[in-house]
A = this chain, B = another copy of it.
Amino acid sequence: MSMDEAAARALFATARVARLATVGADGRPHLVPIAFALDGDTLYTAVDHKPKRTTRLRRLENVAANPSVSVLADHYDEGDWSALWWVRADGVAGTVAPPEPRQARAVALLEARYEQYQRRPPSGPAIVVSISRWSGWRAADVGQGW
């Protein structure tokens, strides 16, 4: 019913967008869509510097307060629910800011994956997620929708 970790990871890697869930110190969840790059079981995403007031961006505050995060990629098809799938990556996140080498590494991987980042590299901190668990679901395997 659920797919194995290697299959889940491979499917996640095909997605161009994912959603990052963090949790605030108040216990409330926070969600944003992200562009991302994978390197093995490490996921990188970055923050543009302006005009999001990077220094107090909620996702960064949350990761500092509670490093547990979840990242979801999914596929929806209006006409064919048997084509639906999702993959979730659960792990622990940290933040790296310039001039830390891992921020440059994140930018390089993101530039390699997104043409838009080649034209305008993200200049803010990167979030680095060490993924400890991949899980996934495919409608075709179970014969129903979400």
Give me the interface of A with B, judged by CB distance under 8 Å: 1, 16-17, 19, 21-23, 27-35, 48, 50-51, 66, 68-72, 74, 76, 78, 81, 84, 86, 88, 90, 116-117, 120, 142, 144-146
Q: How many copies does the complex hold?
A: 2
Query: B116 contacts A19, CB within 8 Å?
Result: no
Query: What chain B residues lie within 8 Å of A88 (beta carbons)?
Result: 31-32
Query: What chain B residues lie within 8 Å of A116 (beta carbons)?
Result: 81, 145
Query: What chain B residues lie within 8 Å of A145 (beta carbons)?
Result: 35, 48, 116-117, 120
Query: B76 contacts A31, CB within 8 Å?
Result: no
Chain A to chain B contacts (Cβ below 8 Å), 19 pairs: A16-B76, A17-B74, A17-B76, A19-B19, A19-B74, A21-B70, A22-B29, A27-B27, A28-B70, A29-B69, A29-B70, A31-B71, A32-B146, A33-B146, A34-B146, A35-B146, A48-B145, A50-B144, A120-B145
